[in-house]
Structure 1
């Protein structure tokens, strides 16, 4: 597993990131609602003419155009503004509760996925060791059968055990892959996969369960 920050792993999950965005939006709505408590002030520019007309100029020439600032304001309905703040605060509380639930659910899912993955790895290791042990037992059973020290039934029993443990080991390999997928999903992706599984190779004795003795004629 990569050494990644726990918070970054949580934020990679779609459910957690969505809950975080909803919480941020709800918090922003409170700021917008609180802004309605203040009077709305606008600063602009106005054009007006002077009323003074110097002597010697007609009315058209005497008009002097000037540019200056204009300030206007309006007071809001405070009851409506406070109601919007209360509504936005309630939305923020709901979004925060949803965010907390998402975090707890994500942590629980991660813990369960990692626990299942660890158990699957331990079972895989145990079954591969058992498969190797039964494979060696099959090889010895083949040698004993060829030497006349055991019966064919003993060899068949060893062969059945070998096949059974190998099948169980293969199922354990599949279980490890399944739990890897669950861990990948729980962590939001972005972790290294496990090294490839190396299965024990059958020995030459297992391939030929009845080896010939040096003086045994070919059949």
Structure 2
């Protein structure tokens, strides 16, 4: 799989690129926002690693413009401890984030979690379809619908919806979602799952009035039908 790394720190980018390539991936690098966006829109990358602080246009603007045309998975590289960067990136459609400075092995684990999900979707059979109430998902085409209308979901949002639809009416914990969708254990005060579910809810609510994903405080989320 080919990965795009967008970071203006050339020395760090070169080190990361070499490390990731040694793990079996192909890596291209861009060192400013405009170049990164242009390359990301070429539709030849399985994943984009996107730094927030970039010259020409910052990472948030790159992600915003990218999401208008592409659902390629994106991992944001954020400043350590900056909750605003993390939350804002997730609101704009990032799949995951990792704060700088980070352990290269942890970054690799995040990359592999997303690429495994891509491979699973690509290798699934056409019959891998689920339906509940007015929702339906198809793993083979990576498509989702609500009340007959197509949902434009990021890979993470699609994976969460698919997980919830496997057991309608059953509570799915945040820990379970984090491990099965993001491929990592849920860290204390990590709001990434909340943001992904919030984005998913908003997209569903554009087409129907009825609530479909209910929060069970202290437990997780549950997919519900009409009362």
TM bucket (normalised to shorter chain) is: under 0.3
| Structure with more relative contact order (C-alpha pairs < 8 Å, separation 6 or more) | 1
More helix by share: 1
TM-score, normalised to structure 1, is: 0.22
More strand by share: 2
